[in-house]
Amino acid sequence: MPEPWEEISLADYENHMSLESVGQLQALDRIMKEQFTAYPAKTVMILGIAGGNGLRHITEKDFDKVYGIDINRDYLKVVSERYPQLSEVLECIRADLVTESHILPHSELLIADLLIEYIGFDAFIKAVKQVSPDHVSCVIQINTDTAGWVSDSPYLHAFDRLDEVHHEIDTPSLISAMENAGYSPVFRSLEPLPNGKALERTDFTRKDISI
């Protein structure tokens, strides 16, 4: 059986995420603009790139290489079609991060937004160690309401199977796991969402690097 994310259409995902009552696509776009410029890096890897939200903020001159990683081949095809201006630096790689993180190349900056919830700490840390970045920037969803971790919307049933792969993630546990992997937290921010949830960004730098 395909993984749940392989069965969710990009249209359903983006339409849900961009609803005024959800607002996550817009918030992530703003956050990614900051993530791309937060640290000195000429290579960047985006885990769970989906449709390439946020890529509009960069040009070929900003990075020597931009790696887009996702389990859904259709998503990656759309990314390549949407951003032809990045064709010289953008490389899309289909990978199941739970079982195939060993195929990931090295990158100086690693971005993982709303991704850890779907692969868990063990798989995420394994991917981090494989990529061996200097800097890691993560966004997790903080469920400050009681209505469930997927926001209510007309597209809600498109996400029914995500319960199969969803992991409860909290920032203290993320920081502990990253510190054990050799990374120190260097930045945190919280962006409230319209429906009572929030996006929390936590950045890390490898302990042997001074910033």
**Tens digits of residue pLDDT in 170-182:** 999 999 999 999 9
CA–CA distance, 28 with 23 (Å, rounded to integer): 9
Domains of the chain in sequence order: 4-206 (3.40.50.150)
Report the sign of the C-alpha dihedral through residues 170, 172, 24, 196, in that order.
positive
The stretch 36-45 carries a mean pLDDT of 97
What's at 198, amino acid-wise? A
**Run of H or E residues at 77:** helix 73-82
Q: Six-digit token pair at 158?
A: 């498109």
Top-confidence residue, 20 or 66: 66
Query: How high is the mean pLDDT of the chain?
Result: 93
Instruction: Return the closest-CA partner of residue 35 out of 18, 58, 7, 17.
Output: 58
pTM for the model stands at 0.95
Q: What is the pLDDT of residues 127-173, one digit of tens each?
A: 999 999 999 999 999 986 545 556 666 767 788 888 888 888 999 99
What local confidence, expressed as pLDDT, does residue 162 receive?
86
Beta bridge mates, 201: 139, 189
Contacts of 110 (CB under 8 A, 6+ apart): 44, 45, 47, 128, 131, 133, 135, 136, 137
pLDDT at residue number 144:
66
Q: What is the pLDDT of residue 155?
A: 67
What phi and psi, each to the nearest 5 degrees, are found at residue 142? -100, 120
Output the pLDDT for position 75. 98
Q: Residue 210: pLDDT band by 50, 70, 90 thresholds?
A: low
Burial class of 92 by CB neighbour count within 10 A (0 to 12, 13 to 18, 19+): buried
Token representation of residue 44:
């960047």
